[in-house]
Structure 1
Amino acid sequence: MLIPREVAQSIVQETEPIMNKNINFMDEKAKIIASLDKMRIGDFHEGAAKVLETGQTLIISSQETYEGAKAGINLPVRLHEQIVGVIGITGEPEELSQQGALLQKMTEILIKEAYLDEQVELETQARETFVNEWIRNQYQDEKLFATRGWMFGINIYKPRVAVLLELSGFQDYWYDKLGSPLGNVNDEVQMQRYRRNVEKLIHRHFPDYNEHVLIPEGSSRYMILLSVNEHKDPLYQKERVNARVWEIQEALRKTYEQESSAGVGSVCRHPGTMWKSVDEADRALRYASDHHQPLYFYEDLGVESLMYDVPESVRRDFIARKLQPEDLGSIPDWENTLETFYQQKGSIKATSEVLHIHKNTLQYRLKKIKDVTGYDPRDINDSTLLQMALAFHKIT
């Protein structure tokens, strides 16, 4: 393991107050990579070279001369029984023997912690890379890919649904915080810590035996590939997914007062179609977010599932030509009136009951909508255009 310079410098700075001595850290090539004396960084340390060669502690007295070395004690630093560097303390050797042993042990502990952190980070990155290859269908050999999955404890042949969960208001909150005159790097660290804590919270709601997969996606989203029981009927599967996501969202509210929206794709039964469930979850999430819903299933979308394929400029033009929302503003509760009218399948009686208004009031509103737009909400042909324009209006 090559010791990163920032890790070595951190060790030097953290141990110096305890030792009250100048401390140097030398790498596997006997070069000083960390020191309180910045002028010495990069210098060759002959004493460290001797330690690397023999594996033994080297004491240098003031009468001895080693290139790049001063009087003091130099000790090997081991990780898994291998010497990975040398730690040196400058000073009178007879004063440093006990301090040196303590420093050696502290350094080896810190090196081991850094190594474990690096291994966890590398494993996390490898896992995320694997999942991204999976959901983008970018692998060539399915057998090899399945073998890689087993290494991570992931069975790619297990039926799953994709869930995309987004933290509501996250982007705006942190943009304002980091972009303010008082924003600093500590705010960035705080944001990353918050994201990690949310990830851990979500993990806690996954039994290990279910092999659910979770990875962050962007700054405010998390992608969950939930395994489903293939022996149960679709309604049961949907209810279990709904319960699982609701449980996570409720935990976010209680723990962090964090609202969220989630979209759920269809069940994927073959690894090569995982991308499709993810794409569907994205569409369902966008709809849920646009309509301020906590959760939406792709299968429950109607024409809305196609809406996000239409460029925004085309949507806005269609809205302006067919709906004319600015002119409709003079009609009380026009948007809710239209939406409820179509939800009630055009029934005047049912719509007026839901809206708690008289049937004549509803009839008046519908007539005014026709006068403004030129399209009659009660006409089957006109209603198709109005429903599409209304759907565009709600997501644009």
Structure 2
Amino acid sequence: MQLSRHNAEIIVKELNTIINDKINMMNEKGVIIASTDQERIGQEHEGAKRIINDRLEELIIHSHDRYEGSLEGVNYPIIISNEIIGVVGITGPYNKVAKYGQITKKMTEILIQEISIKEQKSMDENLRSRFVGEWLQNENVIINTNFVERGRRMGLEITNPRRVIIISVFDNGTGSDSLDEMRKVERVEERVKNVIRRLDPDSIYMKSSSNLVFAITNRKDSEIGKISEMLRSTVEEQPDMKVVIGIDDKCRPYTMMHISYSKAYKALQSCLRTKGEGIRFYSDINMEIFTDEISDMSKKEYVQKLFSGYEREELAETVGLLETLYDLEGSITAAAEKLHMHKNTLQYKLRRIYERTGYDPRSIRWSSLFYIAIDFYREIRNLIGEE
């Protein structure tokens, strides 16, 4: 095992919250790689070299000029699995710092072991995630006996009948991408994972981009719906936190789970595009089935062609008006009330849309054109105005 500079810095910072004296961490070559005294980083510490070469249990330095690059203080080997991987030192008069020596050594060794366990766990999780990603997201991967056995060696049994659900947790408050907001989302995601693990210990999990993907043991839609509602309650009991969930349509053979993933992802995207239900099965979506196959440029061209001559802000207002109208089943009275305008004003605006586009948004015949434009606009609104 090697003591990395990154981990040494973490440990020195942690130790410094308990011990106010200057602390140094040297690697297996006796070079200072972390210190509360930044100017000493990178210097060779002859005292540390002697501890490593002679396997000393302790080295007390009483004079600054006794060992090159070393100051008065106490130094101890960091021993992991009977191997010296570095040295930890405390700078100061012996009668002041000696009382912290053995405690500092033990704390350092414990912290290193904890970090090592976390790193190994992270590596294992990354390997598992890559495997699950191949299984669920890559339609070209060959799912044979070797692939199945590879999963089993990681504790993943992919041959059991499963369904796929994809979950996206986000902060609906400030919209900030600050570190605090990211940590808040991560904490809520951990709660979601714990709920799934409790309800389905045999579930298979991976993180894909900002989504949580679960291949859960086979269940009826009604049962998955209850689990999803429980997850939503878990998330939304936290201030400003929201969740959307996409669910596949049925259980498939383990060799075809990429289809289940694709359908759950389309259901999730449908949730993200709309202001409606935060939980959606693939069987509930309609035109979203094929809209992912259409390029953003084509969607932009369609919207701009239908609403030719509209400025960016004007287009946003018009799409919002039509979206409200269609959400309320075309009721002028209900839409006007929700939009906080007189119904005559709303009717005038709808006539203007007819005059400018050549299509009447109140007509059943032409409403589908506007409905498609609304759906496209949700995805490419940021591209409007760009050339």
Residues 366-395 of structure 1 show CA distances to partners (whole Å, capped at 9, x for unaligned) of xx89995379957xxxx4x75365234334
Using a 3 Å threshold, how does the CA distance of structure 1 residues 393 and 49 change in structure 2: closer, same or farther? Answer: same
Consecutive unaligned residues of structure 2, counting only runs of 5 or more, are: 311-316, 336-346, 378-387
Q: Contact 1:2–1:84 (CA<8 Å) still a contact in 2?
A: yes
Partner of residue 66, structure 1: 67
Q: Which amino acid aligns with 1:224?
A: F
Q: Contact 1:60–1:70 (CA<8 Å) still a contact in 2?
A: no
Report the alpha carbon displacement of residue 206 of structure 1 after superposing the two structures with TM. 1.7
Give, in whole Å, the separation in 1 of the partners of 2:361 and 2:61: 98
- The equivalent position to 2:157 in structure 1, one of 155, 158, 162, is 155
Considering only CA atoms, is the larger Rg found in Structure 1 or Structure 2? 1
Report the alpha carbon displacement of residue 129 of structure 1 after superposing the two structures with TM. 2.1
Q: Contact 2:252–2:260 (CA<8 Å) still a contact in 1?
A: no
Consecutive unaligned residues of structure 1, counting only runs of 5 or more, are: 176-186, 230-236, 343-350, 356-363
Partner of residue 345, structure 1: none
Using the size of structure 1 for normalisation, the TM-score is 0.72
Give, in whole Å, the separation in 1 of the partners of 2:185 and 2:160: 28
Counterparts of residues 340-351 of structure 1 (less than 5 Å): none
Partner of residue 245, structure 1: 228
Report the alpha carbon displacement of residue 3 of structure 1 after superposing the two structures with TM. 1.8
Partner of residue 130, structure 1: 131
Question: Could you tell me the percent identity over the aligned residues?
Answer: 23
Using the size of structure 2 for normalisation, the TM-score is 0.74
Partner of residue 202, structure 1: 192
Report the alpha carbon displacement of residue 27 of structure 1 after superposing the two structures with TM. 0.9
Give, in whole Å, the separation in 1 of the partners of 2:300 and 2:17: 64
Give, in whole Å, the separation in 2 of the partners of 1:19 and 1:302: 63
Report the alpha carbon displacement of residue 5 of structure 1 after superposing the two structures with TM. 1.5
RMSD after superposition: 4.1
Using a 3 Å threshold, how does the CA distance of structure 1 residues 395 and 261 change in structure 2: closer, same or farther? Answer: farther
- Matched pairs, number: 351
Residues 86-117 of structure 1 show CA distances to partners (whole Å, capped at 9, x for unaligned) of 11233444655433112212222222232233
Q: Which amino acid aligns with 1:83?
A: I
Give, in whole Å, the separation in 2 of the partners of 1:370 and 1:91: 83
Partner of residue 394, structure 1: 375
Partner of residue 35, structure 1: 35
Counterparts of residues 307-346 of structure 1 (less than 5 Å): 307-315=291-299, 318=302
Report the alpha carbon displacement of residue 248 of structure 1 after superposing the two structures with TM. 0.4
Using a 3 Å threshold, how does the CA distance of structure 1 residues 51 and 268 change in structure 2: closer, same or farther? Answer: farther
Partner of residue 283, structure 2: 299
SS in 2 for 1:166: strand
Using a 3 Å threshold, how does the CA distance of structure 1 residues 80 and 266 change in structure 2: closer, same or farther? Answer: farther
2:101 aligned with 1:105? no
Give, in whole Å, the separation in 2 of the partners of 1:325 and 1:281: 38
Give, in whole Å, the separation in 1 of the partners of 2:18 and 2:308: 73
Give, in whole Å, the separation in 2 of the partners of 1:306 and 1:341: 24
Report the alpha carbon displacement of residue 134 of structure 1 after superposing the two structures with TM. 2.0
Report the alpha carbon displacement of residue 309 of structure 1 after superposing the two structures with TM. 1.8
Partner of residue 144, structure 1: 146
Partner of residue 227, structure 1: 217
Give, in whole Å, the separation in 2 of the partners of 1:335 and 1:60: 76
Give, in whole Å, the separation in 2 of the partners of 1:18 and 1:248: 40
Using a 3 Å threshold, how does the CA distance of structure 1 residues 60 and 162 change in structure 2: closer, same or farther? Answer: same
Q: Which amino acid aligns with 2:258?
A: W
Q: Which amino acid aligns with 1:203?
A: K
SS in 1 for 2:155: coil
Give, in whole Å, the separation in 1 of the partners of 2:148 and 2:119: 25
Give, in whole Å, the separation in 2 of the partners of 1:24 and 1:338: 67
Q: Contact 2:25–2:34 (CA<8 Å) still a contact in 1?
A: yes
SS in 2 for 1:174: coil
Using a 3 Å threshold, how does the CA distance of structure 1 residues 81 and 322 change in structure 2: closer, same or farther? Answer: same
Report the alpha carbon displacement of residue 197 of structure 1 after superposing the two structures with TM. 0.9
Q: Which amino acid aligns with 2:131?
A: F
Give, in whole Å, the separation in 2 of the partners of 1:61 and 1:339: 78
Q: Which amino acid aligns with 1:84?
A: I
Partner of residue 167, structure 2: 165
Give, in whole Å, the separation in 2 of the partners of 1:117 and 1:39: 30
